[in-house]
Amino acid sequence: MPRPFTPKIITANDLLEGDVIYFTDTNGWSRELQEAELIEDEAEAQLRLLEAEKDALHVVGIYLTDAKSGDNGPEPTHFREDFRRTGPSNYRHGKQEAAANV
């Protein structure tokens, strides 16, 4: 018996910069998880994934991942996705650098 569908977001990496990015409801990409489209229907998730894959010249590694609704938008349900959104872990640069200088 298949598992019941759980809400999803679409994520990938920016091809040139390597940043984790999220597909939005306006068919664009954002570096902010809270701007990601939370998809709650399985058929819609597959259609949105096909739409996201049309941008394969700018993004790489496009996939659906589990998420839940949070106070400020979608939140990851798996530690891997929570870890990915913080940026590289080997030293401070990118998102981590910007957060340190706020």
What is the tens place of the pLDDT at every residue in 54-93?
Answer: 998 999 999 999 999 999 999 988 878 877 877 665 556 5
At residue 70, the pLDDT reads: 92
Residue 66 · residue 75 · CB < 8 Å: no
* pLDDT tens sequence across 16-58: 888 899 999 999 999 999 999 999 999 999 999 999 999 989 9
Q: Scanning the structure block, which residue is given the tokens 């998102």?
A: 95
Burial of 50 (0-12, 13-18, 19+ CB in 10 A): exposed
pLDDT at res. 34: 94
pLDDT given for residue 88 in this prediction: 60
